[in-house]
Structure 1
Amino acid sequence: MALQGGRIPVRFEDLFPYGCFASGEVTAVADFEASTPTRKVQQRDKETGLPMWAVSVLDADPAARAANKSMQFKIAAADMPVLPELPAELAAVGVPFVPLVLEGLTITPWLDGAKIALSYRATGIRPVPMPVKAPKGRDPITP
């Protein structure tokens, strides 16, 4: 299988077996090279030409290392993706983070000095089907 642009497709369930949560709003990604102090330009995807958006997410896996708990996903989409509504069950117990499913996930490895780093992308966002089920062989997650 040939990889286009070095992007490796990955299933949401494999990357986030416990799910993930948006830890902020969806924002436009700035094109720092094209922007000026008085004119901000939004970054465009090099393959599709679509505007780039970003969302920070938290991995819900309790065993994830602290350094790997938070990551930013870039999304190429004509319109700004909209986060799902916070489910009433979670809002009632004070959970401030919105559970979501990222669609069309890819990972691109790159060198950051002597370390391998990963760049994360998605093609869209959708709500998590409720109720949330635990991965096979693991304890259920209760909000």
Structure 2
Amino acid sequence: MALKDVWFTPEFGEAFPDGLFLLGEITAVTEFSSDRNAPKRQRIDVDNEGNGTGKRLWKGTVTDPTALGAKNVSFDVTFVADVMPVPAAAPIARGMTPIELEGLQVKPKVAGSGEFKSIGFNVRATGIKGDTSGSRQAPADPGAARPNSTGKAA
């Protein structure tokens, strides 16, 4: 089927009309290694054929206040960015921060097993709205070799 690897790109407000809340912290997605003494390596967005963005992968667990049923209340979002996204808003409670995703992408998947299968979604984004970590904007001090706002080097 041609749609098996298609990511859909809805607007954030359409997919999550009441927003999302980040539960805890965003962490790096690491590759599995059978050698437990080997150093952890962060995964990048490249598949077995070499297709992808080549950017680092980060993961955060979020909750949707409009979700019905306990099964759909929280899920993981994979962030595809060079720098770990940082929420701009202050937490409303310990470990619960309101966020708005930028570059939202969703892909349907089959969840569950046996006779208890349902449709779930893989959710990923490029960042968080209002993020000032450097993943969505230029650094504060670009250095002398980089062009300034007029396009000329300093």
* The two structures share one fold, judged by TM-score above 0.5: yes
* 8 Å CA contact 1:10, 1:106 repeated in 2: yes
Consecutive unaligned residues in structure 1, runs of 5 or more:
128-143
Gaps of 5+ in 2: 47-51, 131-154
Aligned partner of 2:85 in structure 1 is 81
1:99-110 equivalences under 5 Å are 99-110=98-109
**2:127 maps to 1:124:** yes
CA–CA distance in structure 2, aligned partners of residues 126 and 117 of structure 1: 25
Quote the Cα distance in structure 1 between the aligned partners of 2:84 and 2:62: 16
Structure 1 residue 17: deviation in Å? Answer: 0.6
Question: Aligned partners of 2:65 and 2:118: how far apart in 1?
Answer: 25
Inter-CA distance 68–115: structure 2 relative to 1 (3 Å threshold) = closer
How much has 1:35 moved relative to structure 2?
A: 6.8
Larger-gyration structure (1/2): 2
Q: Which moved more, 1:112-121 or 1:101-110?
A: 112-121
1:106, 1:35 → 2: CA distance?
31
Distance 1:65 1:104 in 2: 27
Alignment of 1:57-96 (within 5 A): 57-61=62-66, 64-86=68-90, 90=92, 95-96=93-94
CA contact 1:59–1:70 (8 Å) conserved in 2: yes
Q: Secondary structure at the match of 2:54?
A: coil
Q: Give the match for residue 141 of structure 2.
A: none
Deviation at 1:11, TM superposition (A): 1.2
In angstroms, what is the RMSD of aligned CA positions? 2.4
1:1-143 superposed matches below 5 A: 5-32=5-32, 36-38=35-37, 39-46=39-46, 47-61=52-66, 64-86=68-90, 90=92, 95-96=93-94, 97-112=96-111, 113=113, 114-127=117-130
Contact 1:26–1:83 (Cα < 8 Å) also in 2:
no
**Residue aligning to 2:147:** none
Q: Number of residues paired by the alignment?
A: 119
Aligned counterparts of 1:84 and 1:35: Cα–Cα separation in 2: 37
